[in-house]
Structure 1
Amino acid sequence: MSVGAAAYYQAFSSTGRALPHLTRRRIVALTITGVSGAALINAEVHKWLRDEFREALHPNRELEREALAKEHERERQQEVERLRSEASIWRLLQLAFIMLPVAIYFPVWIIDPTTFWSLVSERIDRAGPCFVKLAQWAATRRDLFPDSLCAALGRMHESVAAPWSTAIEPSEVCSSLRDAELDIQSLDSRPYASGSMAEVYFGKLKDGTEVAVKCLRPGVKRLLEADLALLLCFGNWADSLEPLRMLGLKKAAEEFCEHVQMQTDFRTEASHLQRFRENFEELGSIRFPSPLYASQDLLVLSREMGRELSRVFRDAMASDGHHEKQDGDRFESHADAIRSILGIQPDVSQRIASDSLAAYMRMIFKDHFIHGDLHPGNVMLKLSGGSSCSTEHGQALSLQPADL
């Protein structure tokens, strides 16, 4: 008996009434109904059953996970100790010299906060990739910092000057790709985007495929490790003081170091990207680029079209002005400006926000694999197809059940 027919029989039996005559047409209809209902939950039920059977067949899996977690923690602590031992007083003096103009021009903050924070942003850009990453995070926290600060730091979501790094030559990139047997036909002479770790060039393969080529900045790893060493020393010092210990700065510094170092090897980013594509394969509203080639310092991705949220937010800030407002009025004003720039109605923006939040909740509670660098510069929005795309995936984190 089919699933639908069995349910039909059980429902009537429980009422004590006689079972109606089951014609062939009714049996077919009930069967289709049952199969259709089962199909709606088929994927989730099968995934749950598969996980349960897997755990039953491998009773030691939990012990294996614990052993892997302990091994990972041991390796992380070894790397932390290595970096901490390389802390340089000369690098600390260099950073103090770079940030000296901020202290000198501090009175400007009282007169013109926008000009002062622009100076701070420019000096942070000169300080190196570690501090640019921290500034990019701060730019997303409008609940903590004033709009003038977030606007100044937010420009680093789109472009980082990186005077501490030498220029990347497109001809050398093309040569490296050809050596890797990748048929590159053309590559733009200027980068489309410049980040703290890499620059992105648009190009085209000989088969017509449009690609984005991500190139690691020369010297970024050496400078990053020098600054991470100082950050770890600061965290260790903060942990030795009772008033600061409760802030957990030592652990925060260690985790920040681990996540940022992932971005210095594009092979790691390619594997993260492939996992995100598999996790979101059935969702049409969220897209991830396809990795076509990856080495330690080069990553070739399929080019995704859309509007970068960082540029949308920048235009919204420009049209809305930088006047300080109460939180409720400020957020509502920003939302109205963004909708105006995108040319969408409130129900569309609510659906975009809902899909974005659902995607992040899925990363946490279902996939246990989250994107660790979802600032507006790494997200694109494509309204015609009703989808959003994440464009940078080096910083990702696997979650254990105990972390949830």
Structure 2
Amino acid sequence: MKGRSAGQHISALMILMLVVLSCKKESELDKRNQTPKAVKLQVPGNFPVAYENMDNPLTAEGIELGRKLFFDVRLSGSNRISCASCHHQALAFSDGVALSNIGESGNMLDRHAPALFNLAWSRSGLFWDGGSKNLESQAFGPLTSPDEMHQDLLVLEDELKQVPEYVQLFQFVFGGGRGEIKSAMIAKALAQFQRTLISGGSKYDKYKRGESGTRLNKKEMEGMNLVKSKCQPCHAGELFTDNSYHNNGIDEVFPDTHEGVFQGRFRVTFQSADLGKFKTPSLRNVILTAPYMHDGRFNTIDQVLDHYQTGVKTSSTTDQLLYQNMGKPGVVLSQTERDAVLAFLFTLTDQEFITNKKHSNPNE
């Protein structure tokens, strides 16, 4: 009886081991068969169709990897600053200063850090002069700039390979060899996250979509109509930007110093008609994204309106859309109209966007 009992016990153990091994093999097979979950952008109902980069399709895991990287100080040479250091969610991913000097060199930058949102609709280049073609190429600018993150890309790859979680995430999202992490993958992940930074939940948006009975008051409605008549087509459509380049009359001359950063779009195209032209920022979240212009020279919205009313400087490329004062440069507004424009601009603030946990630091 004892022998039979022992035999039964051994048989039971063997069966259990076979079940465990079988489950393990099935689990490994399931894991191998898993693929990143494809994601479609959640486009607000009043927005145009978003641009999809077929070379970098969105996945839930790729977006999350990009979010982790966006907030990771390891992306800088000294492991001191991250992308988020100059792009704060509470300020619609701008930084609140005219020209930052928190980069690796400590030197003051020549241009103001732009706000980051609705980038999935930007097809005409990024940076103030359109110097990068898309988000994937844009990432290498700040990553490698001596005055910004000053990171050696090969060193960055090696650093991230020391983090088991990153090794697993990169392998799952992008495939490739085991433990392979390349700078191109880093840029793609960052781009995926940034494409999800969609701001379309302001009071204006809810009014446009007829949500929850949201209405604009009389002053806000007047301001909306004034913006449409006075500020378009530069601040066009539901995005409140044409994503193009204009000389808005803040300078008369455009020196070629500092690698031509003051020459605007001309620096990229070398077309004389582009001298002094810079990319049109969106009016969305404009109350949050002070200071203003490519060099942050205007601290307040009032200063911006002062410029457009009485401060437009003329040059051979000053945009003809600014000649609204009986053939002279300047946008004519009464004080009442100006107050209405300001009232409307406040309706473009998107509190949901700046508090959305999906865009926040995953480590907090």
Q: TM-score, normalised by structure 1?
A: 0.21
> Which gives a bigger RCO, structure 1 or 2 (Cα 8 Å, sep 6+)?
2
- Of Structure 1 and Structure 2, which has the larger fraction of its residues in strand? 1
- Of Structure 1 and Structure 2, which has the larger fraction of its residues in helix? 1
